[in-house]
């Protein structure tokens, strides 16, 4: 089971490194590759005047939309405030 966990973390690590380089990889790619990437990411695009309005495929829409900080670390702000107030209250 430990080998499977290690493979999982290596895969995630590789995926994150590639994702961080995605803008540069896209810019340096040929038109055919760019078209394939856009086809993978985008479901439907509309053009309003000169603005491109994309609709992203699942699960990519989650990354574009983002998540609120509250969902990531729900009690972090309260914990930080509590620590500060506790330190301030000490004589």
Looking at residue 69, what is its pLDDT? Answer: 54
Q: pTM of the full predicted structure?
A: 0.49
Which residue ranges make up each domain of the chain?
2-89
Task: Give 14-62 pLDDT, tens digit per residue.
Answer: 888 888 888 898 899 999 998 888 888 888 888 888 888 888 888 777 7
What is the bridge-based pairing of β-strands 51-56 and 42-48? antiparallel
């Amino acid at each position: 089971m430990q080998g499977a966990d290690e493979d999982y973390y290596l895969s995630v690590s590789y995926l994150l490194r590639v994702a961080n380089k995605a803008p540069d990889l896209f810019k340096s790619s040929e038109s055919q590759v760019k078209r394939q990437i856009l086809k993978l990411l985008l479901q439907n695009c509309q053009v309003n005047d000169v603005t491109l309005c994309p609709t992203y495929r699942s699960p990519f829409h989650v990354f574009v939309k983002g998540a609120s900080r509250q969902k990531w670390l729900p009690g972090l702000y309260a914990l930080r405030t509590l620590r500060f107030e506790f330190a301030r209250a000490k004589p």
